[in-house]
Amino acid sequence: MRIFYALEILAILSAVYASAGDRAHEFQRCSFLCNNRECKNPSLTALPLALRITRWTCLDNCRYNCMHEITSNLIAAGNRPLQYYGKWPFVRVVGMQEPCSVLFSLLNLWVHVMGYSKIQKMIPRTHPLRSYYLVWSVASMNTWIWSAVFHTRDTSLTEKLDYFSAALTIMTALYFTGIRFFHLYTPSTPERTSSARIMAFRVWTVICFFTFIGHILYLSLLPRFDYHYNIVFNLVIGLSHNALWLLYSLPTSISFLKRFSNRPRTYRPRVAGRAAVLVILTTAATAFELFDFPPWRKAVDTHALWHLATAPIALAWYRFLILDASDPSWKGIR
């Protein structure tokens, strides 16, 4: 389900802060001259309020203007635009560096707000997975808030908050999926919970908690952010999560796990096939990240389109989780 959060990290491949555009002599000379001309006396060249609120500096503004001046010249000459500091040239809107990615991040946020509301209304309070789904939903909202902030203004801090929030959501998804498939949840009658199940639940919780904390500490304490490790970590967690849902969707003839603790292994809900479809759609959406091209009208790039694609997929996941939680088999577990 959360593999598209893992694939958010694939965008980091373009975040190597040295690109052909910013290394070019023309860009460096333009930025240097602009800085000397306009930034020596800030009181004479005050930036608009929107740029000050979004933490643009005079030098940042010089680089932005030089980038677009050079890009316009390249396009007029029939040449391909260059990337600057790992990003394509985007037209900013009220200080937002990537306005379409911001907009689509907010769209995803809205989907999760609606999903949270649906879980509250449609999954009974006594359901053993309800609280886990709500926690995951809140983690997802947090992720898309920081995604919007990061695409508004790319700084070292907003980058880390975006990536760490995405990692938290992926780990939360794997955590509740493990609880779902290995039946580590607590029924509404706790006395029916075996000591072995309680111990397994605690071990799984500790593993997930310290895996995430270790991930954050490792990336935070390094002198330089390890982008490659970050990609691998999120992909491994996301693919593990998706693998469990694929096992859930297998035909009864090759079922490897019991979908419900009170049902035989051969029991397969009608909605089981949807899990495989959603995993495939989620993976297919990553094609937007793999086929990178300059932004259309300096506004819409593949990363923004990928954010747009994740919104309806997330909505479909909520519908699926609610259908799975509505299976009659849960009545004997609560």
281 vs 195 pLDDT, higher one: 281
Angle at alpha carbon of residue 326, lines to 320 and 327, rounded to 5°: 100
- pLDDT-derived band of residue 86, with 50, 70 and 90 as boundaries? confident
pLDDT tens, residue by residue, 133-144? 999 999 999 999
What pLDDT does residue 106 have? 97
Name the nearest CA neighbour of 279 among 2, 38, 81, 47. Answer: 2
Whole-angstrom Cα distance, residue 308 to residue 304?
6
What pLDDT does residue 21 have? 77
Q: Is 84 helix (H, G, I), strand (E, B) or coil?
A: strand
Q: Which amino acid is at 222?
A: L
Specify the pTM: 0.87
Whole-angstrom Cα distance, residue 82 to residue 84?
7
CATH 1.20.1070 is the classification of domain 3-15+94-332: yes
pLDDT tens, residue by residue, 94-107? 999 999 999 999 99
In terms of C-beta density within 10 A (0-12 exposed, 13-18 middle, 19 or more buried), how is residue 179 classed? Answer: buried
Q: Is 129 helix (H, G, I), strand (E, B) or coil?
A: coil
Whole-angstrom Cα distance, residue 44 to residue 170?
47
Please, which contacts does 223-232 make with residues 24 or more away whose CB atoms are closer than 8 Å? 225/159, 225/160, 227/12, 227/13, 227/15, 227/16, 230/9, 230/12, 230/163, 230/167, 231/9, 231/10, 231/12, 231/13
Q: Which amino acid is at 86?
A: G
DSSP for residue 79: P
pLDDT tens, residue by residue, 256-276? 888 888 888 889 999 999 999
- Taking all residues of the chain, what is their mean pLDDT, rounded to a whole number? 88
Average pLDDT over residues 170-191: 85
Tokens of 251: 């035909």
Average pLDDT over residues 146-168: 94
pLDDT tens, residue by residue, 193-213? 678 888 999 999 999 999 999
Sorted by where each begins, the domain ranges of the chain are 3-15+94-332, 20-76
Does residue 30 register a pLDDT over 70? Answer: yes
In terms of C-beta density within 10 A (0-12 exposed, 13-18 middle, 19 or more buried), how is residue 54 classed? Answer: middle
